[in-house]
Structure 1
Amino acid sequence: MTTLQIRSKGTLTLPARFRKKYKLEEGELFKLIDVGDGSFFLVPFESKVMKNTDKVAKKAKEANVNLEELLATLDDERRRYYQEHYVEH
């Protein structure tokens, strides 16, 4: 167990061993999840956009799809989604 101290402006410093272990860098975002009774979790915020971008890039490469084809498909899907969800029928 590690003890952290809140500084004058609410700053917490994560020990270097944890920053190195989890490859955390200055400026990274975290979620603070309140679990009640004065307890909470501090969880690294993983960007869903970056996570999904990596998945899309991997799938496109596996399917041998180039960037132009991928962007055209995404544009078509965006238009279809807009029509289905935002245009009154």
Structure 2
Amino acid sequence: MRPHATIIHLANVLAIAEADGAMSDVENGALSDIMFRIGADEADLHAARALLTHGESYRLQPLAYPVANMQMIENMVLVALADGQV
């Protein structure tokens, strides 16, 4: 079964945020803001982290609706640029 859209959204954001090997305090702050805006909780974050570590390397996943995809891409860019290092 495909994970809930919120979990996929967070997993994609986390994959971008952790691409450089670690999350800075600024990136963690951006993640908290993103979680608030999309209505995610700690259980969703835990599930997203589990999705990232399950099996082979994680591949970004699209969401079902174009508007949701745009919001997710905006959040991925936000977290990527949060600490000033891409």
- For the criterion TM > 0.5, the same-fold answer is no
TM-score between both structures, scaled by the size of structure 2: 0.36
Q: Which has the higher strand share?
A: 1
Q: Which has the higher helix share?
A: 2
The structure number with the bigger radius of gyration is 1
Greater RCO (Cα-Cα under 8 Å, separation 6 or more): 2
